[in-house]
Amino acid sequence: MTAMIDIRDLRVTFGRGADAVAAVDGVTLSVRGGESFGLVGESGSGKSTVLRAVSGLNDEWTGRIEVAGAEQGTKRPKGFFKQCQMVFQDPYGSLHPRHTVDRILAEPIAIHAMGDADARIDRVLRDVGLGPAFRFRYPHQLSGGQRQRVAIARALVLEPRVLLLDEPTSALDVSVQAEILNLLRRLRAEHGLTLVLVTHNLAVVANLCDRLAVMNRGRLVEEMTVEELRRETAREPYTRQLLRASQGYDRAVAESFRDYA
Amino acid sequence: MTDGAPLLEVANLRVGFPTRTGMTEAVRGVSFTLGREKLGIVGESGSGKSMTGRSILRLVPPPGRVAADRLAFNGEDLLAASERRMRDIRGRRIAMVMQDPKYSLNPVMTVGRQIAEAYRVHSRAGAAEARRRALEMLAAVRIRDPERVYDRYPHEVSGGMGQRIMIAMMLIPDPDLLIADEPTSALDVTVQMQVLAILDDLCSRRGMGMIFVSHDLNLVASFCDRILIMYAGRVVESCRASELHAARHPYTRGLLASLPRLDGTGGDLPVLSRDPAWAASGPMDGVDG
């Protein structure tokens, strides 16, 4: 299968001169069409910055980004966003508080002049498991899980091929997290979506992804399959430390941690 | 427990907030006793776990109301204590660590001065003595260069360091009980483990009791001695932390099942279906440690 997302030597630097910080320091990776790919790391590892560069939210990057076979510049054409949509971490912050669900979902349809808004909104709401009863509610009338479903519906209503997910479940309770993960799995199968999931939670990656990359301090440490993750056969010491830290508290293990540059 | 009397006794604790449609009860009859141990309180958002922690220090914001048949710390009735007496207890005898150091530290004061201030409020030490103790405490929470960090402002330190600074500040008056409300949830996993190791050591070395409020079942199971599971303002189950995997209440079992696992198969996760009876019934008999 050909690459849906292809990134070569991506670099993102914040600040200038002595204060310059290389948030992403030469990352090369490739995500196949239809694949679910996890990008894992601790805060400051650059995982979200990679996602923001791919999505076009960050235009201060160098290197090469290809999405669906088309090389991307710093400014994206409108058509790009129809193919590639993003879902954010905080469903409390990413929906307009004074727009109804209907208006939130109608806006992308109007921007892309897709027409047939009524039927599309109805369909996408059913698709994310909310149903038409939620159509004329405001975000504050919804729970966190319902809001995240609306955010996913907003991305999905354009019928994209790629869904970029930045910590989509980390603001949610575990029982709601399970519902959203199941929803994403079903939508991926039904729509043939390519998913890129940024998270710090290795168990979420093990549940939803086929392959993953581990990042630390702007660099890609290791790429592995989810099978390798489940068997805990990581090659790099940093990945092994991350795996041990994800398995609950252990006094002796906590003592063994060190910084990896 | 080293002595006979429990450190903290809570019986039928209730926290309510008046609304237009009558009282909304956030905590509905919670009872437990705490010795010199690490007690975990787990639950989802809205389960009342944080309000339980706050009500012990009488920090429930108005117009919230706290009532209990008994709320006693070292045998002293906390509900009857004067506000002056509570100020004495808060910080010195019972300390509280909150989730986010960004909002809990004073942004316009160096972290060293804040820690020293916490010490001077509760003892009559001079400035030099307070500084010395603050530096000691920074070293105790494993900050590598205490002298340098002492003169930093909160925005100049990382999240993990900020949380260690918070812990240093809370522990410098040498409290008997620490209430930690999601103290490591904003931290990276490796830093989280290191901060927990510090708390663990301080508990065992000082014989401090600890209430650890968290939504993370696996973390609490591996860190605490005993666990209370809260749902809709009630304790639905209580068990020894090591026996959480054998929990009997359907809510606890449902929560455990809905967690994705590193060694899982990757299929659909079981989704919790809530039974209205869980909110209505009282605590289920558990294996009470």
B90-129 pLDDT, tens digit each: 989 999 998 877 788 999 999 999 999 999 988 888 999 9
Are B208 and B260 in the same domain?
yes
Q: At B60, is the secondary structure helix, strand, or coil?
A: coil
Asked if B188 reaches chain A (Cβ–Cβ under 8 Å), the answer is yes
pLDDT at A225 (0 to 100): 96
The beta strand positions in chain A, using DSSP E, are: 3-14, 21-32, 36-41, 61-67, 70-72, 84-87, 162-166, 194-199, 211-216, 219-225
Are B108 and B183 in the same domain?
no
Q: Which domain holds residue B131?
A: 104-174
**Residue B231 near residue B45, CB atoms below 8 Å:** no
Hey, are the CB atoms on A257 and B193 less than 8 Å from each other?
Answer: yes
pLDDT at A260 (0 to 100): 81
Which chain B positions have a beta carbon within 8 Å of A252's beta carbon? none
* Interface-testing mutation among B258, B273, B274, with chain A (most A C-beta atoms within 10 A): B258
**Residue B278 near residue B231, CB atoms below 8 Å:** yes
Which chain A positions have a beta carbon within 8 Å of B189's beta carbon? 42, 200, 242, 245-246
Are B53 and B159 in the same domain?
no
- Does residue B227 sit within a domain? yes
Q: Is the confidence metric ipTM above 0.90 for this complex?
A: no
Domain end (from B153, B174, B195): B174
Burial classification of residue B23, based on how many CB atoms lie within 10 Å of its CB (0-12 exposed, 13-18 middle, 19 or more buried)? exposed
- Does residue B22 sit within a domain? yes
Nearest alpha-carbon partner for B27 in B39, B41, B40? B41
Helical axes B127-140 vs B111-122, angle rounded to 10°:
110
Q: Examine the pLDDT at A236 and tell me if it is beyond 50.
A: yes
Q: Name the residue of chain A whose CA is nearest to B218's CA.
A: A248
Q: Using 50, 70 and 90 to split pLDDT, how confident is the model at B283?
A: low
Domain end (from B150, B174, B198): B174
φ, ψ of residue B146 in degrees (nearest 5) = -60, -40
Helical axes B189-206 vs A237-245, angle rounded to 10°:
50
Which chain B positions have a beta carbon within 8 Å of A182's beta carbon? 268-269, 271
φ, ψ of residue B3 in degrees (nearest 5) = -120, 175
**Residue A213 near residue A39, CB atoms below 8 Å:** yes
- Does residue B223 sit within a domain? yes
Are B140 and B218 in the same domain?
no
**Residue A140 near residue A87, CB atoms below 8 Å:** no
Distance between first and last Cα of chain B: 12
Q: Examine the pLDDT at A4 and tell me if it is beyond 80.
A: yes
Residue from the list A206, A241, A255 with its beta carbon closest to the beta carbon of B197: A255
Q: How far is CA B218 from the centre of its chain?
A: 16
- Does residue A260 sit within a domain? no
Is residue A252 within a helix (H) or strand (E), and if so which, with residue range? helix A251-255
For A205-221, write each residue's pLDDT tens digit.
999 999 999 999 999 99
| Cα(B248)–Cα(B238) distance, integer angstroms | 10
Are B201 and B71 in the same domain?
yes
| Tokens, residue B86 | 């509570």
- Does residue B99 sit within a domain? no
Are B192 and B257 in the same domain?
yes
- Does residue A106 sit within a domain? yes
Which chain B positions have a beta carbon within 8 Å of A181's beta carbon? 260, 269
- Does residue A138 sit within a domain? yes
CATH number at residue A89: 3.40.50.300
Cβ within 8 Å of residue A5, ≥6 positions away: A30, A31, A54, A65, A66, A67, A162, A194, A196
Domain end (from B116, B150, B174): B174
For A101-118, write each residue's pLDDT tens digit.
999 999 999 999 999 999
Are B109 and B199 in the same domain?
no
Span A242-260, average pLDDT: 88
Residue from the list B159, B269, B270 with its beta carbon closest to the beta carbon of A207: B269
- Does residue A141 sit within a domain? yes
Q: Using 50, 70 and 90 to split pLDDT, how confident is the model at B4?
A: low
- Please count the structural domains in chain B: 2
For residue A240, the one-letter residue type is R
Q: Which domain holds residue A212?
A: 3-255
Are B31 and B77 in the same domain?
yes
CATH number at residue B32: 3.40.50.300
φ, ψ of residue A87 in degrees (nearest 5) = -120, 135
DSSP conformational letter for B90: B
- How close, in Å, is residue A221 to chain B by CA atoms? 16
Asked if A75 reaches chain B (Cβ–Cβ under 8 Å), the answer is no
| Cα(A78)–Cα(A100) distance, integer angstroms | 24
pLDDT at B122 (0 to 100): 85
Asked which of A37-46, A121-130, A189-198, B140-149 is least confident by mean pLDDT, the reply is B140-149
Asked if A212 reaches chain B (Cβ–Cβ under 8 Å), the answer is no
Residue with tokens 């429990």: B6
pLDDT at B3 (0 to 100): 53
DSSP conformational letter for B187: S
Which chain B positions have a beta carbon within 8 Å of A185's beta carbon? 268
Residues 81-100 of A with CB under 8 A from B: none
| Tokens, residue B258 | 């809905």
How much is the pTM? 0.88
Percent of chain A topping pLDDT 90:
82
pLDDT at A43 (0 to 100): 83
φ, ψ of residue A132 in degrees (nearest 5) = -65, -20
Which chain B positions have a beta carbon within 8 Å of A42's beta carbon? 188-191
- Please count the structural domains in chain A: 1
Asked if A249 reaches chain B (Cβ–Cβ under 8 Å), the answer is yes
Hey, are the CB atoms on A202 and B268 less than 8 Å from each other?
Answer: no
Q: Examine the pLDDT at A246 and tell me if it is beyond 60.
A: yes
For residue A185, the one-letter residue type is R
Asked which of A83-97, A146-160, B185-199 is least confident by mean pLDDT, the reply is B185-199
| Cα(B268)–Cα(B273) distance, integer angstroms | 15
Helices (H), chain B: 49-56, 83-89, 101-104, 111-122, 127-140, 146-150, 159-171, 189-206, 217-223, 250-258, 276-280
Cβ within 8 Å of residue A238, ≥6 positions away: A214, A216, A221, A222, A260
| Tokens, residue B215 | 């939504």
Are B221 and B285 in the same domain?
yes
Asked if A175 reaches chain B (Cβ–Cβ under 8 Å), the answer is yes
- Does residue B98 sit within a domain? no
- Does residue A261 sit within a domain? no
Are B76 and B126 in the same domain?
no
pLDDT at A92 (0 to 100): 85
Which chain A positions have a beta carbon within 8 Å of B190's beta carbon? 42, 241-242, 245, 257
Hey, are the CB atoms on B260 and A207 less than 8 Å from each other?
Answer: yes
Which chain B positions have a beta carbon within 8 Å of A204's beta carbon? 260
Q: Using 50, 70 and 90 to split pLDDT, how confident is the model at B198?
A: confident
| Cα(A179)–Cα(A185) distance, integer angstroms | 10
Asked if A252 reaches chain B (Cβ–Cβ under 8 Å), the answer is no
Asked if A57 reaches chain B (Cβ–Cβ under 8 Å), the answer is no
